[in-house]
Structure 1
């Protein structure tokens, strides 16, 4: 929130650095010098962008990004939720316990590759798997969708969103696993593929700027 990175597993050169001060220094003397600088988690901003101007349709939403890892954002009434009923600490699902490991172990890109090996006996990533005929890849995607549904179901039950919106590169294969995922979620919550993918986080960042923004994109 202050613009100071605490990450040690990546972007190590930014650790402990005041990004707000550095950005303000770069903007000094330009037309943007008085622009407020806000910071947000990219998965939160994805969820907020889809809530505001995408598949969330301004309904209470859980946004999930699926790629190398899994990101998540919980949105109620246009506000990012980082705690409270039905929300994991910080709104982050990736490291919550699931089947003796963590959520990220079960529904990340690496997990999908393991499922492909288990079902097909070959090592494939999501893009390669999506290129296979559905008759061949179907069991893998079904197992992935069911696992994702089992991950999300208790949080959906507790948070009570009307929408779950999926982004990230794996979600581009939504047509392959969406039905299996939907079948595992409580009645009344609809799963949707992102409308804006990478641009959703930019829309979420724009929405943070203030209520003077137009309410539809």
Structure 2
């Protein structure tokens, strides 16, 4: 009888241990399935206040353009730092205007480009669970694929307008590279971002100088 009781107790003990192992594995699998991906993908786009700086751009003003990117942010540890990449479309350019009582003159340049940001490093500071400040610094490379210079002159009601396509621009460097530095606000999945974009490659003795004001959404 004692042997039977001992065997029964051993059987129940083994069954209990096995059930505990199965239960633990099941909980681990469910937890792993519910755990979201750490990488955050986003779309961001909006207004670009374009300007050029340098000796060749002393008399030029700003012109409105655009910037749209698709990218990701991947956490570096658990302190709020991250790195990421971006790919998108943008523009650069400038504008000159002269207005008098019976005379108006404008000259503007706008180049459209493909942009790649090979790396961006940032830090997110959570104010609340849903609200965070995002400071970031990175690099970009762009290549202009099309552009136009427009000149318009009006005098006493008569006007004349001419344009020159990028293919006819002399000594214009289509490739640019520089830095992006900015700060933004995240509310849940939505983002308002302000970024300054500065080019390091001179063309016509000028450097790219863009101020980007964009809205974004993460998914």
Query: TM-score, normalized by length of structure 2?
Result: 0.25
Q: Which has the higher contact order (CA 8 A, sep 6+)?
A: 1
Computing the radius of gyration from Cα coordinates, the structure with the larger value is 2
Q: TM-score, normalised by structure 1?
A: 0.25
